[in-house]
Amino acid sequence: MSSDNFLLDVKELRKYFPVRKGILRRVVAQVKAVDNVDLAIKEGETLGLVGESGSGKTTAGRAILRLIEPTSGKMMFRSKALAGTGKDYEEIDIASATRRKLKLLRRDMQIIFQDPYSSLNPRMTVGSIVGEPLLVHKIARGKERESRVRELLASVGLKPDHMKRYPHEFSGGQRQRIGVARALALDPQLIIADEPVSALDVSIQAQVLNMLEDLQQEFGLTYLFIAHDLSVVKHISDRVAVMYLGRIVELCATEKLFNHPKHPYTEALMSAVPVPDPDYEVERILLEGDVPSPVNPPSGCHFHPRCQYAKEICKKEAPEKRDLGGEHFCVCHLADTLSLAPVRLQ
């Protein structure tokens, strides 16, 4: 991908957690939760990041925001909040940003958490929760802050009188709306949505997804949308990155991914996507076992113990990232030869 129009360009991101043992707490191994991840997100697009639980997608999202410190990597971001005079933006490496710059960067990059129940302080009113970032960043106080909170609540479909209520008085979907309003308070450029609808009923999921799409149009937002379920990202994402055991194994435009998947892991994830057409039969691919431990990953291709197409070479040699053309990348020895089952997009 050309780096001309990126908002965020992540290169070789790693997050290792040391495993310590004994009285001296010596490091005996490393959990490679995120291992050499490259991701570039264009301004105004939604990039879906998908994988099973334990694939490292949430850790990657948090490392990008530096909510946890990355072990290594470069994360170039075009920040409006840091723009100097005469420039629309400043390019900054999030990984090496000072604390002061990081605080300013927080205006540009926000997160929506998975669990709308635990991510809101139960002792604060909705008005205080949504308006808190405005206070912390000294952007608005008093009446000005109150009116901004009203606007934010309206933009997520809540009423002004909801300001005085507490989170427990709201349904799951409404709480997620409050979380979105808080994320919008500082007028961010990038929102990392970490499984924002997984904890909600299916009927509510569609409403929240539609709202996120509307807000993207209205405020020109860019999303990194993390999910374990391809059916959730297929409508909202322009491109999808599939993650397995800390690595991106396939990345391309959403439609291409569903019509021409090239990685066996993508095929397996897609076979689980429900298709609302009784005449359309999909052969479900059962992935045996859990994601292997990132402390001691399998040799060669990490996916080989679960891959129905694995050959001898897969056990011995780790596949390289291959450019299949048209911004389609795949990490598989057999990417050129396999003919995998597509899933019809509805």
Contact segment (CB under 6 A) with ligand SF4 among 26-34, 64-72, 202-210, 296-304 equals: 296-304
Site for ligand SF4 in 310-329 (CB under 6 A): 310, 314, 319
Contact segment (CB under 6 A) with ligand SF4 among 40-48, 152-160, 211-219, 331-339 equals: 331-339
Nearest-approach distance from CB 228 to ligand SF4, in angstroms? 19
| Residues in binding contact with ligand SF4, number by CB under 6 A | 13
Q: How far is Cα 21 from Cα 4, in angstroms, rounded to an integer? A: 46
Binding-residue pattern over the window 234 to 273 for ligand SF4, x denoting contact by CB under 6 A: -----------------------------xx---------
Q: Residue 310, exposed/middle/buried by CB under 10 A (0-12, 13-18, 19+)?
A: middle
Among 14, 106, 304, 328, binds ligand SF4 (CB under 6 A): 304
SS3 assignment, position 13: strand
As given in the structure block, the two tokens for residue 227 are 């999910």
Nearest-approach distance from CB 225 to ligand SF4, in angstroms? 24
- Residue 233 or 301: the one with the smaller Cβ distance to ligand SF4 is 301
Contact segment (CB under 6 A) with ligand SF4 among 110-118, 156-164, 186-194, 332-340 equals: 332-340
Among 49, 81, 112, 332, binds ligand SF4 (CB under 6 A): 332
As given in the structure block, the two tokens for residue 295 are 């402390």
3-state helix, strand, coil in the chain (%, to 5): 35, 25, 45
Contacts of 18 (CB under 8 A, 6+ apart): 27, 29, 30, 31
Residue 241 exposure: Cα atoms within 13 Å on the Cβ side: 23
Q: How far is Cα 128 from Cα 39, in angstroms, rounded to an integer? A: 35
Does 307 help bind ligand SF4 (rule: CB under 6 A)?
yes
- Residue 40 or 332: the one with the smaller Cβ distance to ligand SF4 is 332
Instruction: Give the helix ranges, DSSP H, for the chain.
Output: 57-64, 99-108, 126-136, 142-155, 172-184, 202-219, 230-236, 254-259, 264-271, 312-316
> Residues interacting with ligand SF4, by CB under 6 A?
263-264, 301, 303-304, 307, 309-310, 314, 319, 332-334
